[in-house]
Structure 1
Amino acid sequence: MIGAGVFAVFAPAAAAAGTGLLIGLALAAVVAYCNAQSSAALAARYPESGGTYVYGRERLGDWWGFTAGWGFVVGKTASCAAMALTFAGYVTDEHAELVASAAVIALTTVNYFGVTKTAAVARVLLGITLLALAVVLGGIFGGGELGREHLGTAELWTGGGVTGILQAAGLLFFAFAGYARIATMGEEVRDPQRTIPRAVPIALVIALVVYAAVGVAVLLSLGPARLATSAAPLVDAATAGGVGGLAPVAAVGAVVASLGALLALSTGIGRTTLAMARRHDLPVWLSAVHPRHQVPHRAEIVLGVVVCVLVLTLDLRGAIGFSSFGVLVYYAIANASACTLPAELRRFPRWLTGVGTVGCLVLAATLPWTSVVAGVAVFALGLSGRALHRRFGRSGDSRQCSS
């Protein structure tokens, strides 16, 4: 969870809700908690890879499973674009799209040769990210020039209205991406029935505290209006707060978090694409695995091309909004799937799944209208493509597999 999102998401959230983004952060955390609990219950019942793509198929039917899988693929593909743009925003003020594209090409090449982010590397990257955040926040709060008036008026908290706060919550939901991975580790931890339900809220609380600290720091240093236009909020906050010497530390933390998240995301999307292609929910030629490097190399190449197109055509706010739309639909289906579980498998009241489902749909609907329209169009494209493929494409796939 604590990755590139914390370095990027507060700017678009401030544009939507001003200081009210802090209320949106709390709402995003509530929805994330509901989603994680539902995912944990489903993972215990179906301990296999695929996440809600599998849960939706098993509990609600093939079409719901496909919709969830499609939402994951398109949403996380947009997340890759957001990670690349975040990296570029902290590296340069000019030609950010070209720098982001270069990062995507480089990491696509790394993934093609089967180099992935291991748990040990993940710990190192997290340590660097947390250290950078601690140093920068310590400087801002300890010796920086803070504008307390940025948090002090009701107008700043409510200027965006209810819609603005909900939109900020939908955008900030992007920063919580990764929390449900805990829920899918039932085969890898001791006593998962006890460990996972405790780990989920602990992880969410830790992330929420870190995000709240960063949100308050950038608001106090920049104010909501300036924050809304910042391409590198923590660098600008350090400079505006009188501790500009810490700006390179913030930049290093953002670069490490962005590249680490981009590597992990592209790996996960490639594997999900592989699983969907094997079940004929995506073109079967995407299921090809490289005989030497043992990676879905065609899926990796297609992903790299699509992400490059996105970074050249979307800004950071558009990428985050589109990503949030796809992932919120994904988790709405996860909550609906968990609602069908018997009480002894849920371990929490059914109304919690209802809160999660409604919360996801409301946050998705109140995202920037461009993200909503684009998201609906892409889902319509995916569902239509599946319908056509099921009607006309099966025989061609069968011939290709046999050959």
Structure 2
Amino acid sequence: MNTAGVPAGAGAMKRRLGVPDAVMIGLGSMIGAGIFAALGPAAGAAGSGLLIALALAAVVAYCNAMSSARLAALYPRSGGTYVYGRERLGDFCGYLAGWAFVVGKTASCAAMALTVGAYLWPGQAHALAVAAVLALTAVNYTGVRKSALLTRVIVAGVLAVLAAVAVAALTSAAADASRLDIGADATVGGVLQAAGLLFFAFAGYARIATLGEEVRDPARAIPRAIPIALGITLAVYALVATAVLTVLGSGGLADATAPLPDAARAAGADWLSPVVRVGGAVAALGSLLALILGVSRTTLAMARDGHLPHLLAAVHPRFGVPHRAELAVGAVVAVLAATIDVRGVIGFSSFGVLAYYAVANASAWTLTREEGRPNRLVPVIGLAGCAALAFALPPVTVISGAVVLMLGAAVYGVRKARTNGSRH
């Protein structure tokens, strides 16, 4: 199956990515967001239950990944769960998944851009964030292969920085394993809320599925790339979270504005702090690069089906990328990065992405054995986990997320009514 379902004349994109490229795009999406943006807020919610929350988020992410991988192999087209929901559950479910993804991940793009600014130049965070968005939009515009190569370089640098922090913390005189004290003051609600926030960090494997038209041999490559990227990310998260907790404790981690540089100083490695700040900015750049890539592909798929303006469905004749969708996404993210605060968007993004994966798991449940369905427990646990984590987020996040989803449903209803009216 190649690009079945792509409208004639819409333009086909080139299959240039192999398994290593797809894994690197997934890593670039996850590692930057998780370690440098979500650990502190999650520690504030979970307390000493942070590692339990991390494990819970990983279980839900694994189920989502397995459901997504089987669906991506069957439907190797741009759009991810937008396509799966439409094909398995109907047009409305697919549309709602696409809406949740585009809205939630556009907020994530802005958060990552602001993280770049906050780490490199706190006094000019918004201006630097806008510059980062414009620069990476230009990189994506010139071709996905170049984006994959840049992501590979970024991931290598970030992993080196994280390894240095982990070694410095775990081998320092300040390290104290008793600070882990797993679950001592944790509550069920706090752990669930922290898991929901940490899910923000695991959601990057969606970028692999949304590149279905640009991966070589997608039926083999996508199911391999997703669990590899997720497994590497979980190992990195667990190691770094454990190392930081041993020197800061859950309370110190919750209060830290920049947890990893603070952990480096607490470990007596002051020289490492500025390196970590640069590493945090580079990680956020890698995440932003892959996020813009994924949002633009879902925008492309929705535009092809008429849920967004059709002009966004164009594919560049030379670079083979959805250039108008990328420019539109970049423009919206630049405006958000110039105007919003980074703290409020992580939970909002998590709510949208959990809704997106709820549709993915429901879609995977409908697969037959011949279509390569996963074990029946996988989509069940994934769907239940998505619902539990979404509604455990802070109330204001749940309310705002639900309002945005209802707004999307209203837009769909109005469009459907107009379409039906024009037929009569």
Q: Is the deviation greater in 384-393 or in 288-297? A: 288-297
Distance 2:113 2:349 in 1: 13
Distance 2:395 2:409 in 1: 21
Distance 1:132 1:280 in 2: 44
Per the alignment, residue 42 of structure 2 pairs with 13
Distance 1:84 1:332 in 2: 27
Answer whether contact 2:176 2:247 (CA < 8 A) is retained: yes
Matched, 1:143 2:175: no
Distance 2:37 2:128 in 1: 16
Matched, 1:236 2:265: no
Answer whether contact 2:106 2:333 (CA < 8 A) is retained: yes
Matched residue type, 2:114: L
What does 1:15-34 align with in structure 2 at a 5 Å threshold?
15-34=44-63
1:256 to 260, 263, 282: 282
Distance 2:319 2:374 in 1: 43
Q: Is the deviation greater in 141-150 or in 51-60? A: 141-150
Q: Is the deviation greater in 269-278 or in 111-120? A: 111-120
Per the TM alignment, residue 133 of structure 1 is displaced from its structure 2 partner at its CA by: 1.0
Q: 1:154-180: CA deviations, max 9, x gaps?
A: 544x1xx11111111111111112235
Matched, 1:379 2:405: yes
Q: Are the structure 2 counterparts of residues 305 and 231 from structure 1 closer, same or farther at C-alpha, using a change threshold of 3 Å?
A: farther
Distance 1:270 1:331 in 2: 18
Per the TM alignment, residue 110 of structure 1 is displaced from its structure 2 partner at its CA by: 4.3
Distance 2:226 2:328 in 1: 33
3-state SS of the aligned residue for 2:48? Answer: helix
Give aligned pairs, total.
393
1:271 to 297, 301, 307: 297
Per the alignment, residue 166 of structure 1 pairs with 192
Matched residue type, 1:210: V
Distance 1:387 1:127 in 2: 46
RMSD of equivalent CA atoms: 2.9
Q: Are the structure 2 counterparts of residues 183 and 290 from structure 1 closer, same or farther at C-alpha, using a change threshold of 3 Å?
A: closer
Distance 2:136 2:420 in 1: 33
Distance 2:299 2:211 in 1: 20
Per the TM alignment, residue 144 of structure 1 is displaced from its structure 2 partner at its CA by: 5.2
Answer whether contact 1:338 1:353 (CA < 8 A) is retained: yes
Q: Are the structure 2 counterparts of residues 102 and 336 from structure 1 closer, same or farther at C-alpha, using a change threshold of 3 Å?
A: same
Q: 1:213-239: CA deviations, max 9, x gaps?
A: 111122222222332233322111111
Distance 2:302 2:212 in 1: 22
Matched, 1:61 2:87: no
Per the alignment, residue 3 of structure 1 pairs with 31
Per the TM alignment, residue 200 of structure 1 is displaced from its structure 2 partner at its CA by: 4.4
Q: 1:89-138: CA deviations, max 9, x gaps?
A: 22133343333233223333444565774333222221111111112211
Per the alignment, residue 76 of structure 2 pairs with 47
Matched, 1:356 2:358: no
Distance 2:224 2:139 in 1: 35
Q: 1:57-108: CA deviations, max 9, x gaps?
A: 1100000010111111112111101211221222133343333233223333
Per the TM alignment, residue 335 of structure 1 is displaced from its structure 2 partner at its CA by: 0.5
Per the alignment, residue 9 of structure 2 pairs with none
1:129 to 125, 150, 158: 158
Q: Are the structure 2 counterparts of residues 108 and 189 from structure 1 closer, same or farther at C-alpha, using a change threshold of 3 Å?
A: closer
Distance 1:191 1:70 in 2: 24
Q: Are the structure 2 counterparts of residues 207 and 260 from structure 1 closer, same or farther at C-alpha, using a change threshold of 3 Å?
A: closer
User: What 5-or-longer segments of structure 1 have no aligned partner?
Assistant: 397-403
Answer whether contact 1:167 1:367 (CA < 8 A) is retained: yes
Per the alignment, residue 149 of structure 2 pairs with 120
Distance 1:200 1:114 in 2: 22
Q: Are the structure 2 counterparts of residues 284 and 198 from structure 1 closer, same or farther at C-alpha, using a change threshold of 3 Å?
A: closer
Per the alignment, residue 400 of structure 1 pairs with none
Distance 1:324 1:23 in 2: 18
Q: Are the structure 2 counterparts of residues 122 and 292 from structure 1 closer, same or farther at C-alpha, using a change threshold of 3 Å?
A: closer
State the TM-score, normalized to the length of structure 2: 0.83
Q: Are the structure 2 counterparts of residues 316 and 177 from structure 1 closer, same or farther at C-alpha, using a change threshold of 3 Å?
A: same
Q: Are the structure 2 counterparts of residues 248 and 299 from structure 1 closer, same or farther at C-alpha, using a change threshold of 3 Å?
A: same
Q: Are the structure 2 counterparts of residues 185 and 89 from structure 1 closer, same or farther at C-alpha, using a change threshold of 3 Å?
A: closer
Answer whether contact 2:72 2:209 (CA < 8 A) is retained: yes
Matched, 1:318 2:344: yes
State the TM-score, normalized to the length of structure 1: 0.87
Q: Are the structure 2 counterparts of residues 294 and 228 from structure 1 closer, same or farther at C-alpha, using a change threshold of 3 Å?
A: same
1:368 to 379, 386, 394: 394
Distance 2:71 2:289 in 1: 27
Distance 2:343 2:207 in 1: 25
Per the alignment, residue 369 of structure 2 pairs with 343
Q: Are the structure 2 counterparts of residues 47 and 290 from structure 1 closer, same or farther at C-alpha, using a change threshold of 3 Å?
A: closer
Matched, 1:106 2:108: no
3-state SS of the aligned residue for 2:251? Answer: helix
Per the TM alignment, residue 31 of structure 1 is displaced from its structure 2 partner at its CA by: 0.6
Answer whether contact 1:8 1:231 (CA < 8 A) is retained: no
Distance 1:184 1:285 in 2: 19
Q: Is the deviation greater in 177-186 or in 101-110? A: 177-186
Distance 2:319 2:125 in 1: 31
Q: 1:346-386: CA deviations, max 9, x gaps?
A: 44321221111111111111112222122112111222112
Q: Are the structure 2 counterparts of residues 393 and 85 from structure 1 closer, same or farther at C-alpha, using a change threshold of 3 Å?
A: farther
